[in-house]
C-alpha cells in the first residue's frame, strides 16, 4: 500500500470521516485489504463501491500485486 499526494477532501468525504470517527486515509485502505473487494468494503462502510473506488484514487491509494510463477 502506498499513498501519493493527498488532495483536498470533498464535503462528503469530511462527513464520512466524522461519521466513522477516523481519517479516510486509514479507514479505506484497511477496509479494502480486510474485505478484499470494493463491493464488500463499501457495504461494510456504508459507501457505494464506485464512490469508494474514486475516493481511493483521490487519496492516492494504490494496491501493489505480486504475481507468483509456478
Is the confidence at residue 9, as pLDDT, over 80? yes
Domain regions of the chain by residue span: 1-70
Q: What is the pLDDT of residue 10?
A: 92
pLDDT value at residue 2: 52
Q: Kindly state the percentage of the chain with pLDDT values over 70.
A: 80
What is the reported pLDDT for 61? 85
pLDDT digits (tens, 9 = 90+) for 45-69: 999 999 999 999 898 887 655 555 6
The per-residue pLDDT of the chain, averaged, comes to 85
**Dihedral sign of CA atoms 7, 8, 12, 18 in order:** positive
Q: Please report where in the chains the cell 459507501 appears, as a residue.
A: 47
Q: 67 near 4, Cβ under 8 Å?
A: no
32, burial (CB in 10 Å: exposed 0-12, middle 13-18, buried 19+):
buried
Amino acid at each position: 500500500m502506498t499513498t501519493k499526494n493527498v488532495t483536498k477532501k470533498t464535503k462528503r468525504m469530511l462527513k464520512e470521516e466524522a461519521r466513522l470517527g477516523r481519517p479516510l486515509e486509514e479507514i479505506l485502505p484497511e477496509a479494502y485489504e480486510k474485505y478484499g473487494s470494493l463491493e464488500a468494503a463499501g457495504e461494510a462502510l456504508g459507501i457505494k463501491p464506485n464512490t469508494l473506488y474514486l475516493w481511493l484514487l483521490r487519496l492516492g491509494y494504490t494496491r501493489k500485486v505480486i504475481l507468483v510463477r509456478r
